[in-house]
Amino acid sequence: MGAKPIASHSFTKDEIIYYIRIQRTGDKLPQPARIVVGKRIWSDVGGWKGWEIVTVYDKNFDDWDYARKLYREILSRADGGSVKTII
């Protein structure tokens, strides 16, 4: 079972839907921060058709202050009014 996200948002950028989350990760203490950004795409592979979320960014940070600033910076670059809180 994976770590529960601390914060999770969806947003659009250039008419593409993205999902972002920040969470604790790893087995060392203090636990590092992990930021994951996924992109929603239409998939038509092998007879299966549907929406799929593909990870486009996944990185761990030991510095939580930097990770939070980066998380906020990514959200600030979203299209105006498109940011929605999931958690």
pLDDT at 76: 97
The predicted model scores a pTM of 0.88
pLDDT at 75: 97
Angle, alpha carbons 36-15-74 (nearest 5°): 35
Q: In this structure, is the dihedral angle defined by the CA atoms of residues 72, 75, 80 and 86, taken in order, positive or negative?
A: negative
Do the beta carbons of residue 34 and residue 6 sit within 8 Å? no
Q: Which helix (H) or strand (E) holds 84?
A: strand 84-85
Per-residue pLDDT of the chain (87 residues; tens, 9 = 90+): 467 899 999 999 999 999 999 999 988 888 999 999 999 999 888 888 999 999 999 999 999 999 999 999 999 999 999 999 998
